[in-house]
Chains A and B, each alone.
Chain A
Amino acid sequence: MTTLALTSFTVTSAIGRGLDATLDSLRAQRTGLAPCAFESVVLDTCVGEVAGVDDAPLPRALREFECRNNRLAWLGLAQDGFCEAVERSAERYGRGRIGVFLGTSTSGILETELAYRHLDPLTGALPRGFLYRGAHNNFSVAAFAQRALGLSGPAVVISTACSSSAKAFASASRAIEAGVIDAALVGGVDTLCLTTLYGFHSLQLVARTPCRPFDTARDGISIGEAAAFALLERPGAKLDADAVLLLGTGESSDAYHMSAPPPDGRGARAAMLAALASAALAPEDIHYINFHGTGTPSNDEAEACAVASVLGRAVPGSSTKGATGHTLGAAGALEAAICALGLRHDLMPAGVNTTQVDPTLPVSYLLENRRGRLSRVMSNSFGFGGSNCSLILARAG
């Protein structure tokens, strides 16, 4: 693929609002996971909740999009001068030449879950003021971001469960390469809701304690929430050495099972190989891997197997979900942003919470942060339905 630059990026999750707070937490190896006290949920589990999402309503002009998911999107967009960067880009290319490609798995479904508690006792109708288009529909976060940023180009939501916002980078890259747009707002936003908390619980995939990816005692996921965004465009002639580039994307399907990967991780392997081919790189060019690493026994095993078969056992890697929780449709963009921070600040983040790496997994898992120059990294995202996506990011110099 044509190399693209992340000319601006930002991230908000349970470990911090914006890049500085996130970097501080990564450096301190802090987890944002805490016992679940979300809404009326009664489950013995930990979640990565973002503090203060519901503190303020959306601005009046954006009220038709009111829901927790868009409030988190708004909070995320407000960090790190991101809106201003998009605005400069809009002035440069034109508002219609910037596409919007956002990943989400559940959008504003929380509002529908709450609305179902307040159906009209006589007619069974939803409460007045229920926002289908602005909150419930999967597209709402892209429509919201487009309106909030004053953009008028193509817009779409990618909703492939936990690979959604990684795949947003792939779709946006193609649209830029095809000449349909000049730049793209890419990213992912997913928020806590009852559907995912009780849903993953029904599949017995939720851990009681903060999740411990790749640990001998790993026993499931911790659900989190996040908003992560990047502005993707062709690199200019002059690039700072610490500019972050998107070199490759790779996508595949397992064609195996709706909620479990094949034990040998062959779909994951295909996605990683496709990403290497798209970046025209060899396995040894990758210096760090951010695992999908959900913390379920079978997911981590399949991924370890796949990574070892593509990159070998020696490449240092970690899952940052012990810190942020699994942010589902936002995970791809969140972890791309963490990788971008690592590239910029010479940091391979440790996999927090994990204490005893499963000796049967053929990986070099980081239990402590490692400092040192990183040039190229890979980030994996895999989702229900067997949807896989790998991204390769790099420093410009």
Chain B
Amino acid sequence: MSAPAAYVDGIGLLGPGLCDWPATSDVLIGKVPFASATTVLPAPQGLSGAERRRVSALVKLTLAVGLEATERARADPAALPAVFTSSGGDGPTCHEICRVLASADRQLSPTRFHNSVHNATAGYWGIATGATAASNALCAHDGSFAAGLLESLCQVAVERRSVLLIAYDSGYPEPLRGVRPIPDAFAVALVLAPEVGDRSLARLEACCSEARSDRMSDAGLEALRASTPAARCLPLLTQLARRASGRTVLDYLEDLRLAVEVSPCR
């Protein structure tokens, strides 16, 4: 099997108790203990007042990590194609639509309806940053991060241009929470480039694998990884934080994993 590859030029991250990539990196290398706390969402940048009031928590979440990653990579967000990937999309919006449709008055809010599409985050990313290149919106249940990484690496390999990957998830309200318990919002963004540059942290090369996926040694981080599809990236991020070379295996499908060969650049 041929293995598509790319260089990680920038990382952005927000999650429970994790406020950005440097703070997360310190936790992943064991310098600071992991202390889970409600994910804090910053005010959305780049949107007008009316749009700021209409956007969902997920838009704030994805804008924040996307802008952090592009800033760290010193890349222009408006110039990058983007790959968004999420298991459940906008849980509160989905819940509210189903609630209204089950009631006597089925009048939906038009804003809520257009916010319900799986690519709403990608749409608002374009509006906020002015990015007019291709954007994608993927889903592969628990393997959504791996599916997004694979799509991004294929884009970098074939188109020979940098890509922004944003993987994210947030919880559903009840009753969907009862069947799909995702505890809190989590998002990670990677700027992936075809050539090594002065911001490059590591080279990634991915291929499908049947090996067992890696777990986190810290119980709290493992709970986060196991409960949140987007956080299935944590073993890879740990390797990037440690600047360690070697292979890490990520959850993808029921019978398939994604093995990522990591080679640090500096």
Contact = CB atoms under 8 A, between A and B. Distances in A.
Given A178-B4, A195-B97, A202-B110, A253 B88 contact: no
B217 interface: no
A160 B255 contact: no
A44 to B, nearest CB: 14
A126 B106 contact: no
A171 interface: yes
Interface stretch (A134-142, A208-216, A308-316, A342-350): A134-142
Contact of B132 (A152, A170, A194, A253): A253
Given A153-B208, A386-B126, A126 B119 contact: no
Nearest to B130: A255
Given A116-B99, A171-B151, A158 B138 contact: yes
A88 interface: no
Nearest to B126: A255
Given A167-B136, A178-B158, A154 B113 contact: no
Interface in B1-34: 1-4
Interface stretch (A68-76, A224-232, A256-264): A256-264
A96 interface: yes
Nearest to A388: B134
B1 A179 contact: yes
Interface string B124-137: 10110111111111
A251 B157 CA distance: 17
Interface in B81-136: 81, 87-89, 94, 97-99, 101-102, 106-110, 113-120, 122-124, 126-127, 129-136
A142 B135 contact: no
Contacts of B122: 160, 253, 385, 387
Interface in A117-173: 117, 119, 124-126, 130, 132-133, 136-139, 142-143, 146, 152-161, 167, 170-171
A195 B116 CA distance: 9
B136 A384 contact: no
A180 interface: yes
A60 B102 CA distance: 29
Contact of A258 (B88, B118, B123): B123
B218 interface: no
Interface string B243-255: 0000000001111
23 contacts: A112-B176, A113-B101, A113-B102, A126-B176, A137-B139, A160-B136, A161-B118, A174-B159, A177-B154, A178-B157, A180-B1, A195-B113, A198-B101, A199-B110, A202-B109, A202-B110, A251-B136, A253-B135, A257-B127, A384-B120, A385-B117, A386-B127, A387-B122
Interface of B: 1-4, 81, 87-89, 94, 97-99, 101-102, 106-110, 113-120, 122-124, 126-127, 129-141, 144, 147, 150-151, 153-155, 157-159, 174-176, 178-180, 207-208, 252-256
